[in-house]
Amino acid sequence: MMTRLLSIAALTTAFAAPAWAGTQTVTLSVPGMTCAACPLTVKQALNKVPGVSKTDVSFDRKQAVVTFDDNKASVAALTKATADAGYPSTAKP
Ligand SMILES: [Cu+2]
């Protein structure tokens, strides 16, 4: 039983490490979006941050789901980017 668990863990690590090392997804709460154009501004700001690979901004939910490489970007860099664009944000737990 233990051996089996360990080999599964080893396999998972071997396959996961090369392609996905450092890839993180964070959901940012962006309460300042007040019209349908706002998400475009937020999306552009986030996409300019080096290391960001995917940005999905929802006006209805007032949130942005961002996929980024944590070797290049950080949650702090993402929230700063939205704040600089006029939309302060915070990471949702
Ligand atoms: Cu707007």
For residue 63, give Cα distances in angstroms to 35, 47, 58, 71, 91: 13, 15, 5, 23, 9
The model's pLDDT over 30-50, given as tens digits with 9 standing for 90+, comes to: 999 999 999 999 999 999 999
pLDDT-based confidence at 7, cuts 50/70/90? low
Domain boundaries defined on the chain: 22-91
Taking the centre of ligand 1 as the mean of its atom positions, its distance from the CA of residue 80, in whole angstroms, is 19
Taking the centre of ligand 1 as the mean of its atom positions, its distance from the CA of residue 3, in whole angstroms, is 56
pLDDT-based confidence at 69, cuts 50/70/90? very high
User: Among residues 27, 12, 24, 20, which one has the least CA distance to residue 92?
Assistant: 27
Topology (CATH level 3) of domain 22-91: Alpha-Beta Plaits (3.30.70)
pTM of the model: 0.77
